[in-house]
């Protein structure tokens, strides 16, 4: 997988989503928490699951909006830049966030994203709206593990991260990401970056 490579050619239709990436410090903290899991606890929590695996930290991101399997890169980036410019004109402060809590979807283990204040929650939802997503009912999370089949012992699985909370961080940019499906899983490449602070938006 490649993360951080900017796609120079535009005007192409591709599978795209807009994302936030946690700070390096936040990713290191969560990586350390995953590495410290007792093997016996992990084995008990995943005993009924087939092909359970943690993904690499380079894949850990918050999806703000999925644009579809046949999105136009020019259209997505132009809309994003316009919406972010309007947002920065009235509300330049990005949200203060931390990784905290844990939950499951079908086949997915995720870590939650917690705003520090109600203003930070509002600022995060404003970024979701700028990305083209629906801020109502939005649940910010990072997918950190998947399994192919089996019923999760949810309490055991989420209990692996009981009380987990990482360091606070603030995003500096939104990224439009191209996702290509490979046999080994999705490959992500940065297609476009848009700063979400006045200092980084130029």
Is 94 among the domain residues?
yes
- Where in the sequence is the domain holding 106, given as residue range(s)? 14-195
Could you read off the pLDDT of 101-155 as tens digits, one per residue? 999 999 999 999 999 999 999 999 999 999 999 999 899 999 999 999 998 889 9
Could you read off the pLDDT of 40-55 as tens digits, one per residue? 999 999 999 999 999 9
Is 29 among the domain residues?
yes
Buried-exposed string 46-71: b where 16+ CB fall within 10 A, e elsewhere: beebeebebbebebbbbbbbbbeeeb
Q: How many domains does the chain have?
A: 1
Location of structure tokens 């997503």: 133
pLDDT for 39 beyond 80: yes
- Using a pLDDT cut of 90, give the percent of the chain over it: 78
Is 3 among the domain residues?
no
Give the contacts of 176 (CB within 8 A, at least 6 positions apart).
16, 17, 18, 73, 76, 77, 80, 190, 191, 192, 193, 194
Is 45 among the domain residues?
yes
Q: What is d(CA 74, CA 80) in angstroms, rounded to the nearest whole number? A: 10
End-to-end CA distance of the chain: 29
Two tokens, residue 120: 């930070």
Is 202 among the domain residues?
no
Is 46 among the domain residues?
yes
- Please report, for the domain that includes residue 178, its CATH number: 3.90.1140.10
Two tokens, residue 72: 């136009």
Which residues lie across from 192 on neighbouring strands? 176
Is 9 among the domain residues?
no
Please, how many CA atoms are within 13 Å of residue 156, restricted to the half-sphere of its CB?
Answer: 14
Q: What is the DSSP string of 7-33?
A: P---S-EEEEEEEE---HHHHHHHHHH
Is 200 among the domain residues?
no
């Amino acid at each position: 997988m490649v993360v951080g490579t900017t796609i120079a050619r535009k005007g192409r239709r591709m599978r795209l989503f807009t994302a936030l990436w946690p700070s390096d410090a936040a990713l290191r903290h969560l990586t350390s928490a995953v590495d410290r899991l007792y093997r016996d606890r992990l084995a008990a929590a995943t005993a009924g699951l087939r092909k359970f695996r943690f993904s690499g930290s380079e894949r850990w991101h918050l999806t703000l909006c999925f644009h579809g399997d046949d999105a136009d890169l020019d259209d997505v980036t132009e809309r994003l830049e316009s919406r972010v410019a309007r947002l920065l004109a009235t509300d330049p402060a990005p949200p203060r966030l931390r990784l905290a809590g844990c939950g499951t979807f079908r086949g997915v283990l995720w870590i939650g994203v917690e705003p520090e204040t109600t203003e930070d929650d509002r600022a995060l939802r404003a970024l979701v709206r700028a990305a083209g997503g629906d801020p109502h009912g939005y649940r910010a999370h990072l997918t950190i593990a998947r399994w192919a089949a089996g019923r999760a012992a949810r309490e055991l699985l989420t209990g692996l991260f009981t009380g987990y909370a990482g360091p606070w961080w603030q995003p500096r940019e939104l990224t439009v990401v191209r996702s290509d499906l490979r046999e080994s899983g999705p490959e992500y490449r940065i297609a476009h970056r848009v700063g979400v602070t006045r200092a980084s938006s130029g």
